[in-house]
């Protein structure tokens, strides 16, 4: 502390009392911007006012039950104040320590959204990436920072690790970010090769237009982007919602991938063994671009599949896809046939689908067939409750 001395604190306590020495302590920490100690001092003051033990000011051990709530409120107030002080200085990682503790992440999420993603790689940037992406304060901003400072490969790896912990909105934004990035890079590289080959400029604006009628771009196994990156980003694009503006870009990326030499078209799990054409059809469904034909192709694949596990995987993809475009009756029909016995620990719930579709009669029928008395009674009671509510 720059000005405070132990002698001053002793003198204040003797002349003006303990509260004066605590207030002086708080002022000194605030003036010195020593915010971690300020937090301790703020709680020290509150515990003194409440007549509690002062030796461990941030601890709740030994606090009488009737005073717990009051101290908790003071704790939250102090953490919020210190968090705001750190934010005012632009110290987001330290602010996060306090806002995360009191479960108020929104202020840090908001602060991160204003950070310039074009900042240079540094220790401070690494701290921001850690808070934003790996601690979940603002995953999309974390990916933006990672992309600009560490490149596409590291960003794809990080997203693969984190995507299932993200909210659906963060998944959408993250997928869109990488689709745009890869599309821009790939389009630039393809255009440059065309210009070098033809010695003239190209006025085509889209990737699809650039590659149409130019099979020589792919001759002898040629490619223009890391093919593993393309594979991953097209897969991520399945998180894009119906009607999303990046779907058209994702379809063009899939179209480009379908032109690659066979050895660069890595297969996926059913129904995406023929990876790029299958994804193109998937995106067509979401974009409502030849939707019925694309759905029919997945149905055909389901009908001819003989392996029970593969058949179930295809059914799951198709049921999920139909649900995403609000064709719930079709989804329910398929689920009742192929997914009725799937355990809910897998992430799919036949009961939830029946609720979403307003078809608790289907849940009753399946429950009766499976002799699942609990689900049968639950469906009857829920259906009756809904009927009574609608009658009112």
Question: CB neighbours (10 Å) of residue 309?
Answer: 9
DSSP H helical segments within the chain, as ranges? 6-16, 18-31, 35-50, 65-88, 92-101, 106-113, 123-129, 139-162, 168-198, 207-211, 227-236, 247-259, 275-287, 291-304, 308-324, 328-338, 350-357, 360-370, 373-391
Q: CA-to-CA distance for 136 and 132, rounded, in angstroms? A: 5
- Considering only residues 62 and 29, tell me which one the structure prediction assigns the higher pLDDT: 29
- Indicate the pLDDT class of residue 200, thresholds 50, 70 and 90: low
Q: Which long-range contacts (CB under 8 A, 24 or more apart) does 130-138 make?
A: 130/93, 131/92, 131/93, 131/96, 133/158, 133/162, 134/162, 135/96, 135/100, 136/105, 136/165, 136/166, 137/96, 137/100, 137/105, 137/108, 137/109, 137/112, 138/108, 138/109, 138/112, 138/113
- Indicate the pLDDT class of residue 292, thresholds 50, 70 and 90: very high
Q: Mean pLDDT throughout 91-101?
A: 97
Q: Which of 108, 101, 154 is nearest to 131 (CA)?
A: 108
Would the pLDDT of 1 be above 50? no
* Token duo for residue 156: 């794809």
Q: How far is CA 254 from the centre of its chain?
A: 23
pLDDT at 201: 63
- Indicate the pLDDT class of residue 375, thresholds 50, 70 and 90: confident
pTM here is: 0.86
Q: CA-to-CA distance for 258 and 218, rounded, in angstroms? A: 11
Of the ranges 22-26, 54-58, 133-137, 282-286, which one carries the lowest mean pLDDT score? 54-58
Q: Mean pLDDT throughout 208-218?
A: 95
pLDDT at 386: 60
Category of 212 on φ-ψ map: left (φ > 0), alpha (ψ -120 to 50) or beta: beta
Would the pLDDT of 228 be above 80? yes
State the residue for tokens 């001395």. 5
Q: Please give the DSSP secondary-structure letter assigned to residue 55.
A: S
Q: Mean pLDDT throughout 242-252?
A: 96
Q: Please give the DSSP secondary-structure letter assigned to residue 225.
A: S
Q: Please give the DSSP secondary-structure letter assigned to residue 121.
A: P
Interval 299-318: pLDDT, tens: 999 999 999 999 999 999 99
């Amino acid at each position: 502390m720059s000005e405070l001395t132990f002698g001053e604190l002793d003198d204040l306590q003797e002349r003006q009392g303990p509260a004066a020495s605590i207030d002086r302590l708080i002022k000194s920490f605030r003036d010195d911007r020593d915010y971690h100690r300020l937090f301790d001092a703020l709680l020290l003051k509150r515990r003194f006012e409440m007549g509690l033990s002062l030796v461990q000011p941030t601890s709740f051990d030994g606090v009488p039950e009737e005073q717990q709530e009051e101290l908790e409120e003071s704790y939250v107030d102090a953490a919020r104040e210190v968090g705001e002080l750190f934010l005012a200085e632009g110290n987001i990682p330290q602010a996060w320590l306090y806002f995360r503790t009191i479960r108020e992440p929104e202020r840090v999420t908001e602060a991160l959204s204003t950070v310039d993603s074009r900042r240079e790689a540094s220790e401070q940037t690494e701290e921001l990436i850690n808070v934003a992406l790996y601690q979940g304060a603002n995953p999309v901003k974390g990916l933006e920072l990672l992309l600009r400072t560490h490149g596409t490969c590291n960003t794809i790896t990080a997203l693969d690790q984190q995507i299932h912990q993200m909210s659906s909105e963060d998944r959408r934004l993250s997928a869109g970010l990488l689709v745009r990035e890869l599309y821009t890079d790939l389009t630039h590289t393809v255009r440059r090769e065309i210009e070098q080959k033809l010695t003239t400029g190209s006025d085509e604006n889209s990737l699809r237009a650039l590659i149409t009628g130019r099979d020589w771009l792919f001759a002898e196994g040629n490619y223009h982007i890391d093919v593993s990156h393309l594979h991953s980003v097209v897969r991520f694009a399945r998180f894009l919602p119906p009607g999303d503006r990046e779907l058209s870009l994702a379809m063009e990326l899939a179209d480009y991938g379908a032109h690659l030499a066979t050895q660069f078209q890595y297969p996926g799990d059913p129904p995406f063994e023929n990876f790029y054409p299958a994804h193109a059809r998937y995106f067509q469904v979401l974009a409502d671009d030849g939707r019925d034909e694309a759905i029919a192709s997945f149905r055909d694949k389901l009908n001819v599949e003989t392996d029970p596990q593969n058949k179930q995987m295809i059914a799951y993809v198709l049921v999920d896809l139909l649900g995403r475009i609000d064709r719930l009756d079709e989804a329910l029909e398929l689920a009742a046939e192929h997914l009725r016995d799937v355990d809910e620990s897998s992430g799919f719930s036949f009961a939830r689908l029946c609720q979403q579709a307003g078809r608790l009669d289907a849940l009753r029928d399946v429950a009766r067939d499976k002799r699942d008395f609990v689900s049968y009674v639950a469906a009857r009671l829920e259906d009756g409750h809904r009927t009574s509510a609608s009658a009112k």
